[in-house]
Amino acid sequence: MKILITGGGTGGHIYPALAFVNYVKQIEPDTEFMYVGTKIGLESKIVPKYNIPFKTIKIQGFKRSLSPQNIKTVYLFLNSIGKAKKIIKDFQPDVVIGTGGYVSGSVVYAAKQLKIPTIVHEQNSIPGITNKFLSKYVTKVAICFPDVAEYFPKEKVVLTGNPRAQEVVMIKKTDVLKEYGLDPEQKTVVIFGGSRGALKINQAFIEALPLFEQRNYQVLYASGERYYKELQETLNLSKKKLTNISIQPYIDKMAEVLAAADLMVGRAGATSIAEFTALGLPAILVPSPYVTNDHQTKNAQSLVKSGAVEMITDQELTGLKLVTEIDAILLDETRHQAMAAASKKEGIPDASERLYKVVKEIT
């Protein structure tokens, strides 16, 4: 079988695609893959590291306000369809899967015109503009949150979950916390604001640090590269001895760390949610207010309803609020266990298997 995957712009579109590729390679080693992205997107840096053939087309997104740039966008879209058709004809895939981002719009639409089976994978509880557009043309729409089904043609929707979940659920608990100077046997909360960090979470952590030092649980905090130096200087970390707190610019073994943790605090991105629910980990979510259609708040709200998470808005977040909410979960074993069970129930640990089943059904 030949599978062409397209998606880009953010890790939320790229990592689920790569998790699916890894799964298929394990069960069908002879499957051939091609990934189509853009030269300037994050995918151009990430995908080649996975030894997947990578092609690019030129595309840009629409401005939400009236802008002359939208004329150029229409031109690039029409032009990119032709280029996408050439890539598709050369590779001759059995199916084309789009995981979001503007690049997938051109490629999936081109595949539909060439009468090739197509799937779009929507990770969030509010669909992106590209997937909403493509849903009229594709064969199937794979979703991760049941709530998002209402935005798509009912007969095309399949609940598959996020392939990243199946990749993470295979990870067993290890002593990885030792690598960050922490005790693997102690209760641990992991706090992070995404790969680049989040200003409001960073500010709350600084406020909370004196309180964390008094707690009998430990904290692993990833500030993001752009805030790390400032954090070191503000907290005078070169001279300060922290016993139950580890501050890192980035956690490169995040899945392994989450498997060893008792609670997560972070943004409400779709990939992050797929990871911690697959592990049955309770969470406190602080949705980013800077994303399209406020989809992170919708992501979080669906899990609040189930009892798997607590939500703090970016505006409400303070150091005291953060510590109070963490204490209320970590120091109450009954509540912690109930949230963990609810989180596990929300997870879809066989997401890649489900998506592959859809692929086999339409090819």
pLDDT tens track for 289-338: 988 889 999 999 989 999 999 999 999 999 999 999 999 999 999 999 99
Task: Indicate if the pLDDT at residue 70 is higher than 60.
Answer: no
Q: Is 195 labelled a binding residue? A: yes
| Closest residue by Cα to residue 36 from 4, 1, 77 | 4
* 2-162+349-362 against 169-346: fold identical: yes
User: Options 3.40.50.2000, 3.20.20.220, 3.10.20.810, 3.40.190.10; which CATH number does 2-162+349-362 get?
Assistant: 3.40.50.2000
Q: Average pLDDT for residues 346-356, to the nearest whole number?
A: 97
Residue whose structure tokens are 């802008």 = 67
Q: Is 10 labelled a binding residue? A: yes
Residues 6 or more apart whose Cβ sits within 8 Å of residue 344: 277, 279, 280
Contact 216, 32 (CB under 8 A): no
pTM: 0.88
Q: Is 101 labelled a binding residue? A: no
Model pLDDT, residue 243: 87
Ranges of each domain in the chain:
2-162+349-362, 169-346
| Closest residue by Cα to residue 44 from 24, 69, 21, 14 | 14
Q: Is 307 labelled a binding residue? A: no
Q: Is 280 labelled a binding residue? A: no
Task: Indicate if the pLDDT at residue 235 is higher than 60.
Answer: yes
Model pLDDT, residue 55: 97
Q: Classify 169-346 by CATH class.
A: alpha beta
Separation between Cα atoms, residue 45 and residue 259, nearest integer Å: 27
